[in-house]
A and B are shown apart, each in its own frame.
Chain A
């Protein structure tokens, strides 16, 4: 039997569930209930997250994954237009690649 723990690496669906949970903690359940969060949801347009909420979200990613990924470093390499267009699937792919 395969006893090696391979579950440490989250798949795309698990990452989506995890990140959706972070978003709910940041913007509050009452708002999340009203929206249909999908991997295509953009942070600023669909989720209406402002920059301080994205700070909270980044902190949750940092706390969860530790030094495994440099999420803020990745974000800071983007210009404002790229940040505005950022959607959940781009973050999922980035974290997936870093794991």
Chain B
């Protein structure tokens, strides 16, 4: 049985292609039914990728079926953006996706939950079987290892999250710190969500158009403050996030300096996400005032992205280790049915031959002697099979180019894989970096 993956992602397809292919839970269920020839199937649909995973004994047929499914969903043009992985390459891809090494924002945490949801949906629909479940479980475990052993997801890489991260360097935790949003646009809303997550409270909203401030305050459970009373709001606030379209500075040194004494020199963190700027650049020179603009925040994001890229290298080696382990375990598992068949066949022969011998002897031997003959026959096959059993088990766990299990199946006329088609993998861990490179090139 081979794992197969066909799909599009932010790396290969523009948004208009991805949005055509994006599937809701009901559409996924329908799509799962349309995948023909696969023993198991799963669909992963997020805003950055749509991928079809299948387990099949003849991947070519399933690949064709998936291609026609993609063409029917997104049009023939979408096939140009399609990537395909099969066998170990598909496995590596699944592990990398789950560990967020293939994500648009490297190391983002959402993707792991999305893959879990995809598997759960496939299980509910009865399309996920043991192969997919095992592969996904191993991918989840390695993703968790990547999260706990590297710092790939730690550094902030969005404007709002980087601003909140910077604020924690002044205040430690933001719990109970009053935040003032000046401006009530999309950026303010995004910042508010991050501030809420960091448990900043209260969140004050001040906007030239009061109605918009009220709208945002309702969404984020904040309080509206008069735009005309910005000084009063500033006295209360610990953090200020500016994102208005004002063509002139709203906060200048002359305006803020007299307020510092009233604030009893409490630190004031100000971040300006607006262009043109809302905060005068010299405001940061005031004692206890920490003011940052878009460029400063971008600098942090760039540093953090670099840090994530460095961590990604560590993550890749964790993935390689985990895949090697998975392949090893799978090889052992694959060799077990051959062993069981070999032993069952040998025992059957031994018992039959012992029975025939005992029939020939008739009643001339006692019950004790009868049992001894049967035991001797089984002892012979045990002795004979001891070495091959040990070798098969040993080689099952050892990644190498040859497969003794296949050879044993061939030699003794057994069915490899316990009645299933023979697995095609060689037991050799795949080259993760090569697959990752291929993924990037596509």
Same assembly: no
